[in-house]
Amino acid sequence: MKWVSLILVVIGVGVLAFPFVENQYMEKKQTELVDQYEQHLSPDSQVAAQSLEDVTDVFESEAQAATTAAPLPDEMMGTLEIPSIELKLPILEGATEESLASAVGHLTGTPFIGQEGNAALAAHRGYSFGRLFNRLDELEKGDTILATTNEGPLQYEVTNAFLVKPEDVSVLEPFSDGSTITLITCHPIRNPTHRIIVQAELVEHTPSEP
C-alpha cells in the first residue's frame, strides 16, 4: 500500500506543477524568439485581408496553439515591448493559431508598424501561453509602447483603452493622423465576452541606417 500512496502523491504533485512548468516553457520560448529576431532582422512582404472575426476564432480555440513549434526568425516582423507591464515579445505576420501560440500577431490587411494608418496587433490572454497580453488591462493613457522593426525603433504613447464586443471591427479603422497601433486581446481571461483595446500614437521614430 505504501508504494500506491507514493505513486498517488507523485501524480498529485505533477498535476499541480504542470501549469507552472508550461508557463515557464512558453516564456522561455518567447524570449528565444526575441533574441533570434534581434540577431536576424528580415522583412515580410505578404499582405492579405484578415478580419477581426478571424482573430475571435483564434482566441476561442486554444487547443492546438500550446503545442505548436516555434516559428523561424525570418517569419518575424519585429518585437513589441511595454516597459510598464514588463513585456517583450516577438511580432509575427498574421494572427493565427500558430503565431499566437508564442507571439504577438499582426493582422494582415492593416498597415505595417511605423507606416501611416492603424496597425493592429493581437495576442492571447490566458494561462497556457506564458504572460503574453495578460496584463494589457493595466495600461493607462500616457504609457509607452516600444516596437522595433527592420525600419528601426519606434516609440508609441497610449492614447486610449476600452472594451468592445468581439464583432466590433471599427477598432481597425484609423483613429488619428500618422502612424498608430491598436493592441487587441480577449476579456475576461476565462470565457471571454469582450475584447480589450489599447490604442497608441507614434511619438518617435529613429530610422535604421541604410
Indicate the helix (H) or strand (E) that contains 200: strand 194-205
In sequence order, what are the beta bridge partners of 69? none
Which residue among 124, 187, 194, 205 is the active-site one? 124
Q: Are strands 117-122 and 104-106 parallel, antiparallel or unpaired?
A: antiparallel
Alpha carbon distances (Å) from 118 to 13, 15, 200: 47, 43, 9
Q: Is 186 part of the annotated catalytic residue set? A: yes
Q: 130 is written with which cell numbers? A: 506564458
> Quick check: bond before 188 cis, omega within 30?
yes
CB 56 within 8 A of CB 70: no
Phi, then psi, of 196 in degrees rounded to 5: -85, 130
Give the residue among 65, 77, 180, 67 at the shortest CA–CA distance from 125.
Answer: 65
Which residue among 40, 106, 186, 194 is the active-site one? 186
End-to-end CA distance of the chain: 72
Give the residue among 89, 75, 81 at the shortest CA–CA distance from 32.
Answer: 89
Q: Is 124 part of the annotated catalytic residue set? A: yes
Active site amino acids: 124, 186
